[in-house]
Amino acid sequence: MKIFCSRANPTTGSVEWLEEDEHYDYHQEIARSSYADMLHDKDRNVKYYQGIRVAVSRVKDRGQKALVLDIGTGTGLLSMMAVTAGADFCYAIEVFKPMADAAVKIVEKNGFSDKIKVINKHSTEVTIGPEGDMPCRANILVTELFDTELIGEGALPSYEHAHRHLVEENCEAVPHRATVYAQLVESRRMWSWNKLFPIHVQTSLGEQVIVPPMDLESCPGAP
């Protein structure tokens, strides 16, 4: 059996999903992750909770049940926030199996098992219907798919798929808006992350220059 694990690509800076063997040590993957940093980020968590409360309140004011879809639930924290804020039910999606297993235990230990269903799938594989993962579309979308570049973890395609297939047309979304600020810079060091420059080394014969082969310049990387 193969399991998907996220990896940071040092060349592009993006997060990619790779297949790992079933005997892979997933606990090491969790230990190296940033879950703990996010859990201890009080400012982030307070803002998420405030946004979730507003979203749940809006749905309730329309006389509807608050059904939440939490994509990338991780530990299940945002799902538990949603239920605490008054949501009627929450579907928590987590593709990384060890994390999904942890979320199930955390949700159960905190007494939310009757209102939170953890689904160990990629959000694009979640099914809707009587025999599906969700009986109907959600009317609140909660996600934490963001990195330092905002859209580096595939947030945009995940959002697009969710709006097309998993949530109602006029659903509430947390967060529902973002701004990306960019600054042009010129840096030889940063450029060296994508291009090999000649290397100057000191030897017994004096300074030597190692020039990368031209073939490397046109190499697109591993297939």
Q: What is the pTM of this model?
A: 0.72
| pLDDT reading at 222 higher than 50 | no
pLDDT at position 122 is 93
Q: What are the residue boundaries of the structural domains of the chain, listed by start?
A: 35-174, 188-217
Which residue, among 60, 15, 56, has the nearest Cα to 34 in the 3D structure?
Answer: 15
Give the pLDDT score at 128. Answer: 97
Going by the DSSP 8-state scheme, the letter that residue 198 receives in this structure is: P
Q: Give percent above pLDDT 70 in the chain.
A: 78
Distance between CA 139 and CA 87 in Å, rounded?
Answer: 10
Backbone angles phi, psi at 138, to 5 degrees: -85, 160
Look up tokens 């290397």; give the residue. Answer: 199
pLDDT the model gives residue 193: 78
Cis peptide before 213 (omega within 30 of 0): no
Model pLDDT, residue 3: 57
Strands 67-71 and 15-21: unpaired
Looking at residue 40, the DSSP 8-state letter turns out to be: T
C-alpha to C-alpha distance for 70 and 119, rounded to whole angstroms: 10
pLDDT tens digit string along 57-74? 999 999 999 999 999 999
- Average pLDDT of the chain is 85
Strand ranges for the chain from DSSP E: 2-8, 15-21, 67-71, 89-93, 116-119, 138-143, 167-174, 199-203, 206-210
Residues annotated as catalytic (active site), given as ranges:
144, 153
Q: What's the pLDDT score for residue 25?
A: 55
Give the mean model confidence (pLDDT) for residues 70-94.
97
Instruction: Return the CATH superfamily for domain 35-174.
Output: Vaccinia Virus protein VP39 (3.40.50.150)
pLDDT tens-place string over residues 39-56: 788 998 999 999 999 999
- Could you give the angle at the alpha carbon of 164 between the alpha carbons of 126 and 122, nearest 5°? 25
Residue 91 pLDDT level (bands cut at 50, 70, 90): very high
Does 164 or 28 have the greater pLDDT score? 164
Query: Is residue 3 helix, strand or coil?
Result: strand
* Residue of higher predicted confidence among 191 and 171: 171
C-alpha–C-alpha distance, residues 108 and 85, integer Å: 18
Higher pLDDT residue, 77 or 24? Answer: 77
Residues 142-157: what's their mean pLDDT?
78
Backbone dihedral angles phi then psi of residue 23, each to the nearest 5 degrees: -95, 5
